[in-house]
Structure 1
Amino acid sequence: MMKVWELYEKGDWVVPFLIFSISLFVGASLFLYLIIIWSRNKKIKRARLKTEYSLVIEKMMSAVVFEDVLFSVLKEDKETSLLFKKAFFRETVTETIINLHKNYDGVYAQKLEQFYKDSGLINDSFKKLKNLSWEIKCKGITELSEFNITEAFDSIIAFSKKKKKTLKITAINAGIKLAGIKGIVNLVEHPDPIDDWTQVNIISAFKKHDIGDTKGVELLLESKNTTVIALGLKLIKELKLTQKVKYVAQLIDRAPNTTIKYEAQNVLQSLTV
């Protein structure tokens, strides 16, 4: 301990320490600068590529939608075939056809859905569900639900039990779009509280997708989770499901607490007035 103190008093360590500190600072600054430059160049390159790809994709989609050209014909072109092997090109195509699909319906929408499957873009979306990043999972869920891939329902709805709120809401909304009431029936056994924001999103999804068959909504009222019961009551009220009045009346008699009982009475009153 004395030797360390003696070295400290002599001050011989000061110059090497300062040199090391300055070198470390300069090195770190240079490294960060290079990272920023690399990141910026990457973004510029991607933006340029996206512009180039967009021109190709527009012609391709025009042929698919308006000229009934199949992907099997498109991939015979060597340049197109090579482009589809590039991840960024495929991602750009997916973004484009999603935007188109939102604006088209009927036969045109069906052509886009078929292209999504034939081109293998559907496989990219399924792979995103296995990604560690929740943002990428959400992207995959959104893509699959947009193109009405009903076989993805079980994989998607499994994410409704995750803790991450955005992922949970995305999965539930997708489940509702793909399977209507079936998309929320699994919430009956949901152990965690469903916050108001999530409930609002679920109700909005029902209104947006105009779910005709509401058979099963009443099952939410049988949950042991009071927030799930509250969601069921809100759905019945907001969607004006007068055919569910008897289930609301039954809930009043067996409500788990006064809050739920009060909410049920309000719903019953609003539907019977």
Structure 2
Amino acid sequence: MLPTEDLLVHTYVLIDDALITGAVHIPARPGPPPTCSDAEILTISVVRHLLHRRSEAAFRAELIHDHPGLFPHLPGQSQLNRRTRWLWGAFEQLRALLAATLPTDDAACHRDQVDTSALPVKHPSRVRGPDSWVGPAGLCARFGRDGAHGEWFYGFRLAVLTDLGSRLVRAWSIVPAAVNERQVALDLLADGPARRYLLCDKGFAGRAFAADLASVGTVVIVPPGKTARRSMPSGLLKVIAQWRNRVETTFGEITQVMDLARHGAHTFWGLLARTAATIAAHTLLRVQLTT
């Protein structure tokens, strides 16, 4: 990892170039241009996640104290939050731009994996005012089961499609807490290239799901149950376990190391912006480590 100031400059140049060339497009807004540019706002958020700084306010204070010359017109915390939420689509464009610099993992096989992870939020009964966990198309927070930790939670799920080799996030979505994971997988796969193999956990097992993907040439691989494991070669079981560990590592980096599990958002749109920024930062990190 570069020193903080070098990382800020490197990330700013990358983002500013993407805005200048139109690779990342931000719709025009009425009024005079802000003194702190969109490229600066995007840079601050991406680098905060790369440095694992959980608090937005503390990182803003760090920038003012340690790097005052880099962001001379840094807005106040509330305005910084509003502008970051408004730019969530730019984070996603940046992620797609970075991911496109690496080819899809193993062009001969197209091996990918799909999974979901809990995104808990505060229940409306614990905060003042109306329910703020309502997103587009009726998406709203609900109760769901977190199988990884064996507990119930209130909120959403983060669904991701990743390469097995590079562990790049190729597609993602925020979905209801109690969701049909097989339908989520089909939605994530809909707009991308055909995959030869798709590794999933046991929650995705189903004949109809496997048949749907088989019709487009994709083989679904699901970890075997206890009975099936007795008759499988130990070497194959080890390979499947190693593959499954890769998506768990990716989730760990996004939700724990980069602190998305403790996102601190107060509204759905704040959660969406933080998720998009975190995954863009993770993609930048994976691209730098891979190239």
Tell me the TM-score normalised to structure 2 length: 0.24
Higher relative contact order (CA 8 A, sep 6+): 2
Higher helix share: 1
Between structure 1 and structure 2, the one with the greater Rg is: 1
More strand by share: 2
